[in-house]
Structure 1
Amino acid sequence: MVEKTPTVYDVAEMAGVSIATVSRYFRNPAAVRETTRERVREVVLELGYVPSGSARGLAARRTGTIGVCFPSFDDVARVDARRLESGPPVRVRVDADTHVDTGSDLYIAEVVRGTEIEAWRHGFAVMIAVPRGAAAHNVVEGLAGRVDGLVTLARAIDADQLAHIARRLPVVVVAGPREGDVYDHVTANNHGGMVALTDHLIDDHRLTRLEFVGGPEDSPDAQTRFEGFTEAMLLAGLGVPERPVARCDFTRAGGRETGRRLLAEGLLDDLDGLVCANDQSALGVLDELTAAGVRVPQDLAVTGFDGIEASNVSSPRLTTVRQPMVELGRLAVAQVLHRLNEPMTEPTTRVLPVEVLLRDSCGPHPRPA
């Protein structure tokens, strides 16, 4: 039997205080006298009262929630095909698959973690949505109607729809350069990081036959990193490719597929280095090179970009560019909150520094003096 849901009026009557005092107890407990605060707390626990978020939001004209919208890199078709059914409580099987699947996009997971941390620090919650397929537009609209501001990865939302949402909500775009819009942007130094990494391969390892494995064509970060790669090649007087030797969907599984194709088509035969647009792609390529007996870095150097934890435990450990993924998420939420309080300030672009991590996959490094 479902009990009657207690209301704020019930709490006020039982505690012997006004409705305003109960509301103040939830909004700003420090403003309520300790004895009164304790009495209200005991009644709330006894009745099982939970304040209505929607009602509080109407009163404050705030929902206390930040929306986070990112594209999907997961294999939804495979997930949907799985049947949700009961089975034995424990299964034991031999796992002969040596490929380690560390998730579809660890970069996004770290950025989302940053948004949650910063939202929590300011008393906000995070609501996440992933627009997919025909329902994408409605998913984004539904999210926008429930939050105070929106953090989104560049190009995850249709440009016209995002412009419409930005008329009523603060919008912060993570990754990629400004594209003639009026949103706040938060990104990492993708171009400079890739230039520095490529310079290291050319100057310190004397690698001259390099190719680039790009990301999705609509990824601004992948494009910026390719431009950094080609700039370093040009400044070194080396041949500059017009396009990446291959493209990958930024997943490890996609990297494996790319590695198999590059090997099958002989596109790695004359190379001494392969620069990948992200770590997941590089790790997938590395899986296939290892399986094919290609020695890294002796036969071919391989590098990534992002600095996910999996790059630090691969064999060999992956040389990469670490970008501050958690800090990107934190700064994006901080900018949303700033714009809620200062809506008329000019849009800004914040570029966070990156760090080149020299590891084993590009060869030995000179010891510091």
Structure 2
Amino acid sequence: MVTLGDVAKQANVSKMTVSRVINHPEQVTDELKQLVFTAMRQLDYRPNVAAKALANNRTQVIKFFILEDIDTVEPYYMNLLFGIASGLDKKQYALQLVTKNNFDLGGSDGYIITGARYEDYEWIDRLEKPVVIFGENRNGYDFVDTDNKQGTTLATEYAIAKNYQSIVFLGIDVKEPFEYSREAGYINTLQKHQKLPQIYRMGNHSHETEQFIRDHWRQFATNTAFIVASDRMALGVIRGLQAQNANIPTDFGIIGFDGVFLDQVTNPKLSTVRQPVQDMGQLAAEMLLRKIDQNGAPQGEKLIPPELMIRGTMRQ
């Protein structure tokens, strides 16, 4: 059986270096990693992750809880899962997906939780392993999220700069921090420019925003821009305006929020506030692994700057 020493001899490095490459690759140069990985492939050496976990009294498993319905058409969670898995893979951790309809069975070393609502924190408080929340929260938990306020600030500033006279915000009807932040970016920007906010809230579904536009069509004058809290909702706005033969983007502009797939398939293509979802997932995984290594020490919050993507639904 190939041993760690065999790999070290093949790569012409010390056993300590091989161990560091396997267990702490971020502490080793790319050149050394390449030497060791090449030797491992040549010798068909595979680290015994199970033995390592047993020795460290760990499971090498991280559980990812999704506490909201997953829209199978929108690959937001596929991008997020890929990012989390990439972050965990660096430390040979396995990812276990747990949806809100399943029980928490089996052991793990920690949890990443997304879609948490106010009523969920009662049971989250009882979890004994380290937790990182994916998404803004005001319950004192470590979290990773987009800078939601900055995102809608960028969108609203752009709409004002392009001389849309009326700027309307369509928000998600949830009392959650990410939505408050998105609304705050919009409100603060309008107030800075001495304009009055117009906010409407509804479910995060395209059919609801489409029906909203149909029902309220006459109250929106030409030269209106809609700042929308999700791309899914923005898709409904496009459909509703097109049903009225509205001229997009000359008379009506739309900016969504997410930038994951849906913005690419609308016609015209949707302007949006893009979240770097894969990068955020990887950061959430890295934050949790640091927390585990530091025996649950607080990690704080990480807000990632979004990017405004201007396409066919806004004047350029």
User: 1:1-369 to 2 correspondence within 5 Å?
Assistant: 29-32=3-6, 57-74=53-70, 103-132=72-101, 139=103, 141-142=104-105, 145-155=106-116, 158-165=120-127, 168-177=128-137, 179-181=138-140, 183-202=141-160, 204-241=161-198, 244-249=199-204, 254-266=205-217, 269-270=220-221, 272-343=224-295, 345-363=297-315, 365=316
Q: Which runs of 5+ in 1 are unaligned?
A: 1-21, 45-50, 76-102
When Rg is computed on C-alpha atoms for both structures, the one with the higher figure is 1
| TM-superposed deviation, 1:344 | 5.3
Rate the CA distance shift 1:52–1:124 in 2: closer, same or farther, 3 A. closer
* Contact 2:291/2:299 (8 A) holds in 1: no
Question: For the residues of structure 1 that align with 2:201 and 2:139, how far apart are their CA atoms?
Answer: 29
Question: For the residues of structure 1 that align with 2:4 and 2:53, how far apart are their CA atoms?
Answer: 20
| TM-superposed deviation, 1:41 | 7.4
Rate the CA distance shift 1:283–1:66 in 2: closer, same or farther, 3 A. same
SS of the residue corresponding to residue 305 of structure 1 reads strand
Any idea what the Cα deviations from partners look like across 1:28-81, whole Å, max 9, x if unmatched? x5345789x99x979x9xxxxxx995x875554211111111133347xxxxxx
Moved more, 259-268 or 217-226: 259-268
Question: For the residues of structure 1 that align with 2:265 and 2:49, how far apart are their CA atoms?
Answer: 46
SS of the residue corresponding to residue 212 of structure 2 reads helix
Superposed CA RMSD in Å reads: 2.9
| TM-superposed deviation, 1:267 | 6.0
Rate the CA distance shift 1:219–1:295 in 2: closer, same or farther, 3 A. farther
Question: For the residues of structure 2 that align with 1:236 and 1:104, how far apart are their CA atoms?
Answer: 38
Any idea what the Cα deviations from partners look like across 1:233-257, whole Å, max 9, x if unmatched? 111111123xx323232xxxx1133
Query: What residue in structure 1 maps to residue 16 of structure 2?
Result: none
Question: For the residues of structure 2 that align with 1:30 and 1:215, how far apart are their CA atoms?
Answer: 54
SS of the residue corresponding to residue 286 of structure 2 reads helix
SS of the residue corresponding to residue 312 of structure 1 reads helix
Question: For the residues of structure 2 that align with 1:281 and 1:304, how far apart are their CA atoms?
Answer: 8
Question: For the residues of structure 1 that align with 2:110 and 2:250, how far apart are their CA atoms?
Answer: 50
Query: What residue in structure 2 maps to residue 91 of structure 1?
Result: none
Any idea what the Cα deviations from partners look like across 1:170-211, whole Å, max 9, x if unmatched? 11111114x142x32111111012112101101x21112121
Of all paired residues, the percent bearing the same amino acid is 21
Higher strand share: 2
Question: For the residues of structure 1 that align with 2:250 and 2:156, how far apart are their CA atoms?
Answer: 18
- With normalisation by structure 1, the TM-score equals 0.68
- With normalisation by structure 2, the TM-score equals 0.79
Rate the CA distance shift 1:32–1:218 in 2: closer, same or farther, 3 A. farther
Question: For the residues of structure 1 that align with 2:108 and 2:218, how far apart are their CA atoms?
Answer: 48
Q: Which amino acid aligns with 1:72?
A: E
